[in-house]
Amino acid sequence: MKRTLLYLSALLFLALTMGSCRRAAENAARKIRIEAIEQITPKGLNGADVILRVANGTRHKLVLTKAVFEFYYRQDKAMSIRLHESVEIGKRTTESIMTRWKIRIDDPLIVLLLGRDLETDEPSQIFVSYSVEGRGGPASVNIAREKVPLSDFLNTFGVTLQDVKNHF
């Protein structure tokens, strides 16, 4: 009986701490925002420098070590965009940070089809897979999703298709 009580106590403790960690992560996520894309500068045929204004309202320095975005048209991979160098932002600040990205076009014809659908406001055949790794203070962050519809992906960041078209 004592052993069962000990196991139940341990499970209760784990459940309570996992819930508080989840709430802490959700609170931190609300305090981190990409406020604007300030500038996009193409670098040759396979790269770009993007200046982002990022707000970090947490009490931890944020470090983004890896980010990969893959764009699909129907089931075919069109292109991928990969963070070239890690970036960091200080705690409780809003900063403009320069990020460097490598672009790889897997199929130029599929990229043309993808661009056509973006121009005609018909993104239903466009999907995004992504993987992001980094640290927020003592916690590591690993987020990955496969073939998310473009509209759902943009909604995650509060961005519309028209916002994307305005930048390009």
Per-residue DSSP letters for 46-83? SEEEEEEEEEE-SSS-EEEEEEEEEEEETTEEEEEEEE
Q: How far apart are CA 161 and CA 151, in angstroms?
A: 7
pLDDT tens track for 109-153: 999 998 898 888 888 999 999 998 988 877 788 889 999 998 888
pLDDT tens track for 44-64: 889 999 888 888 888 888 888
Q: What percent of the chain has pLDDT over 70?
A: 79
* Tokens encoding 140: 């590591």
- Give the count of alpha carbons within 13 A of 7, CB side only: 4
Q: How far apart are CA 32 and CA 139, in angstroms?
A: 14
pTM: 0.74
What integer is the mean pLDDT of 31-43?
80
